[in-house]
Structure 1
Amino acid sequence: MSQPAHDGVELIPRPELSPAALKAALAVVAADRLPEMIDGQTKAMAEAITTGSVQPIRSFVAHWAAVVEIERQPAVARAYHRANYLANHAETVAECRAHAAAVAEFYRAAYAAVNA
């Protein structure tokens, strides 16, 4: 579980780092997560207005770019979701930690790939 799976197959090209492009990409690769994304975008905008900083919007874009990066690669998405499922259904704390570490590694790799 130490290395993210990648068979080279991509459902869509990597989108640009903008909310609109990421939303369009997510609609193709994981449409069921659109409500979550829209809620996150609303919260990021509200926080940006409240704090007078664009950092919440940058964080929102960086996170969703990583999510899309995982989901646009079927082998990676399968492995990521399997590890997440196993972490949430582990019978022992050690199993949970091992699977959660795999989930984190998939996310870190995707985040690094799109936010370099």
Structure 2
Amino acid sequence: MTTLTGIPAGPLIPMPDRNPAALRVAVARLSPEALPRFDTHWADAMNQARDEFSLLPGRHFVDHWWAWVAIQRWPERAARFRECEHIVATSDDKATRRAASAELGRILADSQANASRATGPGSTTRTPNTSSATSPSLTGGTSKTSLAASPKLSASAASAVPSTSRNPPPASRPTPKDRS
């Protein structure tokens, strides 16, 4: 059955891998006018990462744009998301703003869950961080999330971060004296 509105029933594009290059291609396909914002956000995240010696700004950038793509690839969902954002920003009624805000949260959670399934089992993409204290603003603002609310570093990322503690080597590891 076809829709009379001309809006496709399925997603416009498949869900991309969870990395900046794949996300940039997806953003370009979904909304070329969003590319300058994407590029500016990427540059800001990399500058912040360099200034703070942290991997988190890059991870937050990827999480933000992955969620943006997850919503924007479904035209009806994206339109409703924009409507709810408008209601939250302009309504004088507190109950209406709360209802629209709750719907924004549901749309975001559903989009991320569907996107996680769309990438399939065994995918190299990381599951979205749904336990953080704040969800990313999809209208362009950057948000600061505390380190405690951030997901733990993966083993490969953690090994790239220099250790500041002076822990002795694990006991199972032979010391030079044991090797002789």
State the TM-score, normalized to the length of structure 1.
0.83
Letter in 2 for 1:22: L
Using the aligned pairs only, state the percent identity: 31
Structure (1/2) with the larger helix percentage: 1
Whether 2:90 is the aligned partner of 1:86: answer no
Q: Distance in 2 between matches of 1:54 and 1:8?
A: 37
* Larger radius of gyration between Structure 1 and Structure 2: 2
Aligned residue in 2 for 1:32: 33
Choose 100-109 or 68-77, whichever is displaced more.
100-109
State how 1:3-22 maps to structure 2 within 5 Å: 9-22=10-23
Report deviation, 1:32. 2.2
**Number of aligned pairs?**
110
User: Is this contact kept in 2: 1:69–1:110, CA < 8 A?
Assistant: yes
**Do the aligned partners of 1:44 and 1:57 also contact (CA within 8 Å) in 2?**
yes
Match of 2:56 in 1: 55
Which one is further off, 59-68 or 31-40?
31-40
The 3-state SS of whatever aligns with 1:17 is: coil
Q: Distance in 2 between matches of 1:51 and 1:109?
A: 33
Task: Give structure 1 stretches of 5+ with no counterpart.
Answer: 1-6
Gaps of 5+ in 2: 1-7, 117-125, 128-180
Higher relative contact order (CA 8 A, sep 6+): 1
Q: CA RMSD in A?
A: 1.8
